[in-house]
Amino acid sequence: MSTHHTSSRPTLPVAGEDHARLTVDLSALADNWRAMARRSGAARTAAVLKADAYGIGLEPAAKTFHHAGARDFFVATPAEGVALRGVLPDVRIYVLSGMWAGSERLFFEFDLVPVIVSEEQLVVFMAAIADGGDLPCVLHVDTGMSRLGLRVEDALALADDTSRPASFSPLMLLSHLACADDPGHPLNRQQLQRFRSVVSAFDDIDATLANSAGIFLGEDYHFTLTRPGIALYGGAAVNDVPNPMKPVVTAEARILQVRDAKAGESVSYGASTVFTRDTRIAVAALGYADGYMRSLSGSGVPLRKANIPGASGVLHGRTVPLIGRVTMDLTHFDVTDLPAGSVRAGDFIEVFGRHMPIQDVALAGGTIDYELLTSLGRRYERRYEAVKK
């Protein structure tokens, strides 16, 4: 396995500045896409690349998915679509936020497919193609999310509208599941039934409903295209079940200092952690400026009502608890129970990744793994482990 240092982000640490580092396993990324493609059965499988590919880097992620077999890609904004087109010239790129007045040129120039999310956007799109412009679109139907999309009744009316321009012929219908991470939630079946009613009203049209969690709901939800996101990046798509996806991202921070504190002394802001024993502290070069959120401090943060113990890290194969409050640039870990002298300045502690599941860290911070990944700061040295030949 080879390692190369590249990123789609414009700002990188200089050589030797690796106070924190991210290792992205591109083989695991490819394997996760293939696993979701197998679960999708007869449906084509897209890849979602929103937010700089969930924080790991658009270019390496896009190339990895394409090499694995993906030909359909979803982004959030036209700007993301333009960036992706520069990486992959011959794929289908869908823009989930749709088309609004003033953005039309980008869709035509860079061959982007707008996902029309409202009646207002439908008007803009109709005007854009009125002069013979050749541009496909996807129609977003709200089946229960109450976020984006035409209401079911409006989509059905559009299907029956014989006065609509002949040039308007959406290539696909899209909806989004609100509760797919809870397989037993009744809204899943309700949304499925509503979506089916719209799909049946349009003649011979592709359809996409299943996100990562929706793929796990089974064949009924797959239609002709699935669009996995978080599962590709190693995140947990379904609640309260073991995560079958391979970890993709490992975040580590350099230990800047190892110091001793006496029983009765405290650590970090607010003196929220007072030691009940003599304690050895490892001070790591990582904080909320790097996306390692203050809430990971657990109930030591004011206003947190739940008795959450906070996150942990892995150092020399042992789990060590976070202590005190996470600060902008520094986080503290209790390494008292590790052998004396085994932890030294310059060592690296894993804060999530291969040995510390990202979903467990997110839970400790009262959030989800999506937020941890998409909040990654720019100070990490990024390392991409190439796909195994």
CA dist., res. 268 & res. 278, Å (int) = 16
Catalytic residue among 94, 221, 269, 389: 269
Identify the H or E element spanning 215: helix 212-216
Within 10 angstroms of residue 174's Cβ, the number of other Cβ atoms is 25
The pair of three-digit structure tokens given for residue 143, joined into one six-digit string: 């089946």
Q: Are strands 172-174 and 138-142 parallel, antiparallel or unpaired?
A: parallel
- Could you tell me which of 49, 148, 140 has the C-alpha nearest to residue 92? 49
The pair of three-digit structure tokens given for residue 80, joined into one six-digit string: 């993301």
Four-residue CA torsion sign, 337, 342, 348, 353: negative
Instruction: Find the radius of gyration of the CA atoms of the chain.
Output: 24
What's the CA dihedral at 320, 326, 330, 335 to 10 degrees?
-20
CA dist., res. 21 & res. 24, Å (int) = 10
Catalytic residue among 50, 94, 221, 288: 50
262 annotated active-site: no
Q: Is 328 annotated as a binding residue?
A: yes
Binding residues for substrate: 147, 328
- Which residues are marked as active site? 50, 269
Binding residues: 147, 328
